[in-house]
Chains A and B, each alone.
Chain A
Amino acid sequence: MSNTLLDVRNLRTEFATQDGIVHAVNGVSFVLEEGETLGLVGESGSGKSVSMLTVMRLIPMPPGRIPSGEVIFQGNDLLKLSAEEMRQIRGNKIAMVFQDPMTSLNPVLTIGTQITEALELHMGMNNEQARKRAAELLKMVNIPEAERRLDDYPHQFSGGMRQRVMIAIGLSCSPQLLIADEPTTALDVTIQAQITDIVKRLKRELGMAIIWITHDLGVIAGLADRINVMYSGYIVETAPTKELFANPLHPYTVGLLGSIPRLDEGKREKLTPIEGLPPDLVNLPVGCPFYDRCRFRTEKCLQENPPLMSVGVKHWSACWNYEDVRQQRDAILKRTALPVAGTPQS
């Protein structure tokens, strides 16, 4: 049994705006084991990026606020650390790669400087050692002529190369946890595949844990051990990846799966979109946040927001009517039932 690396408990993040308090993250709890890859899936505004920025303590405060929660990383609550202690963890033990490689690198500093500065700071290397290590890192992410390119500026790199540089920066201090915030979203599909392949390979070689944020279930399928599905600041379903795809037990997850294009369909099937919009994060409903868009909704859903309930082996869903979902989802997804491991046969 591997050890717990990150234990997030009841994490909340809010932002004070002119329209009122935006409840971006509403009591998120999950556990990440060492070396595990966790997918964080959800649409824009579901709180997946904000929750991870909160873990990194990169939320601008004000207007941001963390009214409750614990983020236990290797036994310490990150939210209780001083700014200086947290700074020594950032980039060193927990690294983050961001969505847009075109704007995430500093345009006036060389690639070499941007890689070496963290090495010099966290690993105590001198400039020469850091440059050597930086060249190794660039080679690791398949950038040719690495030594020469250290003196180049970001604008001399393509988008895919810049994202590989970002990954090299993220991995430079051998972090235990790499948070990847939609690292492939801004890239071409072929480049996306390159980036995910590099991350998969490096994970095998280096063994760090990864939290991969995405709105694309297709990208995460081959990558993650487990997936958290987020909706309006809540985790609504969490399960091992195979289980989630075979046995989705939250209407929102079913909706997400229904909106993935399928290549194995004989005839051209229309995608099934999820109708409607997510709720206003300023005025969250008392009941289930997915109520307005849900085809399984009942009176109970309007009155009480369902907590995460155990619905299988390592499988939790925040839906009162998950049994109905279980029975009807294959018809909705227009597929034959997939074999489900470890669930009671009905």
Chain B
Amino acid sequence: MSTIIIRRLLWLPVLLILISFVTFALGIYGPGDPVQVMMGLRARPEIVEQVRKEYGFDRPFLVQYVNYVGNALRGNFGYALVKNPGQRVSDLIAKRLPVTIQLNIVVLFWSVPLGIALGIIAALKRNTIIDVLVRALVILGFSLPVIALMPVLSFGMSRRHDLGLLTIGPFLPVGGWKGMFAPEIIMPAFVLGLGILAIYTRQTRAAMIDVLSSDYVRTARAKGLTEWMVIMRHALRNALIPLITIIGFTLAGLFAGSFLVEAFYSIPGVGALAFDAFTSREYYVIMAVTLIGATVYVIFNLIIDLAYAFVDPRIRYKSGS
């Protein structure tokens, strides 16, 4: 067990170097010229060259890369060029990261447990009307594009509707950010969580159906255990093992998904920052967000691999001996 942790931890810096290299190469060789973007198209060429020199963009690729990584290790990810020019990217991100984290916590808190619960219920009530309804919800969650869902939902929830005799609404405020306990979070958290709800429901249902027909669940029943014990202790624990794998993907997906949602609902998180950076080619911000995102992804995957070993004794012991 400890050997596997050490081995995985030794891999971590190697992965981070690879990630930073690719990110940096994409930033340098990708379309668009950061200096040109910063100076505008009508800037005089000699001034552009001067700025290029000032920022070190004229130096060889590897030198730039080493400088960048060296600064990044010291917490300096460069400066904003277009919006708030001169501000440190690390400050921008530090200010916005808590917002994104809070949003994601709320998303995970409603969607994952509900998804698992719906999956269990659908598996237990297999082929009944309840199962059919849950499956319909799953298909809906998978196939509703966020980009279409957001405006429709906003229209429905945040306006006054005149229905002849009675007027209803608005039900929810749309847009803005007043912390994770304010109603402004409901719509973005719903939109972001719907897909996750669908994934967890489907995976839990499939895993539970598989596990419920297993021999050891029959053994548990033959022992005269209560149905609650059979499901929660014997079936669910086994069904959750494959679910751990998708947690990693979920977190990565959240990070990417929140670009659009944060931008749409004007939530001052990392997603909105990245969205602005991509549209205005905010070179240092793009690189920093990509680098941090990839690092988070790698670290979460490490944690998940370890969690796997924690839940499944077969993995725990195989690696230990």
Residues of A whose CB lies within 8 Å of any CB of B are 56, 58, 87-92, 95-96, 98, 100, 103-109, 117-118, 121-122, 153, 155-156, 166, 169
Contacts and interface: CB of A to CB of B under 8 A. Distances in A.
A122 B219 CA distance: 15
B225 A117 contact: yes
A91 B222 contact: yes
The 7 closest A-B pairs by CB, nearest first: A91-B224, A90-B224, A91-B223, A103-B215, A106-B216, A153-B313, A118-B223
Contact of A98 (B219, B241, B313): B219
B225 A118 contact: yes
Contacts of A155: 313-314, 317
Contacts of B312: 107-108
19 contacts: A89-B224, A90-B221, A91-B222, A91-B225, A95-B222, A95-B223, A98-B215, A103-B214, A103-B216, A105-B219, A107-B216, A107-B312, A108-B237, A108-B312, A117-B225, A153-B317, A155-B314, A156-B317, A166-B219
B226 interface: yes
Interface in B220-238: 220-226, 229, 233-234, 237-238
Contacts of A156: 317
Contact of B233 (A56, A109, A153): A109
A91 to B, nearest CB: 3
Contacts of A103: 214-216
Contacts of B313: 107-108, 153, 155
Contacts of B224: 87-92, 118, 121-122
Contacts, number: 78
Nearest to B311: A108
Nearest to A83: B227
Given A98-B219, A153-B313, A155-B314, 6 more contacts: A92-B224, A98-B218, A106-B220, A108-B241, A108-B312, A118-B225
A122 B223 CA distance: 9
A290 B251 CA distance: 62
A104 B314 contact: no
A247 B262 CA distance: 84
A58 B225 contact: no
Given A106-B220, A108-B311, A100 B215 contact: yes
Interface string B283-314: 00000000000000000000000000001111
Contacts of B220: 106
Given A108-B311, A109-B233, A58 B222 contact: yes
For A88, A103, A107, which residue has the most chain B Cβ atoms within 10 angstroms?
Answer: A107
Given A106-B238, A108-B237, A117-B229, A90 B223 contact: yes
Contacts of A169: 219, 223
Nearest to B321: A156
A105 B238 CA distance: 12
Nearest to B218: A58
Interface in B254-281: none
A322 B145 CA distance: 73
A107 B315 CA distance: 11
A65 B216 CA distance: 23
A87 B215 contact: no
Nearest to B217: A106
A291 B163 CA distance: 75
Nearest to B214: A103
A166 B226 CA distance: 19
B222 A108 contact: no
B146 to A, nearest CB: 36
A155 B215 CA distance: 15
A175 B151 CA distance: 65
Contacts of B317: 153, 155-156
Given A90-B224, A156-B317, A104 B233 contact: no
B229 to A, nearest CB: 7
Contacts of A117: 223, 225, 229, 233
Contacts of A122: 224
A104 B222 CA distance: 11
A138 B172 CA distance: 62
B94 to A, nearest CB: 41
Contacts of A92: 224
A107 B223 contact: no
A104 B223 contact: no
Nearest to A155: B314
B218 A87 contact: no
B237 to A, nearest CB: 5
Nearest to B230: A87
A155 B219 CA distance: 16
B215 A108 contact: no
Contacts of A107: 216, 238, 312-314
A109 B223 contact: no
A104 B237 contact: no
A106 B221 contact: no
B222 A90 contact: yes
Contacts of B314: 107, 153, 155
A325 B214 CA distance: 43
Contacts of B216: 103-107
Nearest to B212: A60
Contact of A109 (B214, B215, B218, B234): B234
Nearest to B223: A91
Nearest to A118: B223
Nearest to A102: B215
Contacts of B225: 87, 91, 117-118, 121
Contacts of A95: 222-223
Contacts of B237: 106, 108-109
Contacts of B234: 106, 109
A95 B222 CA distance: 7
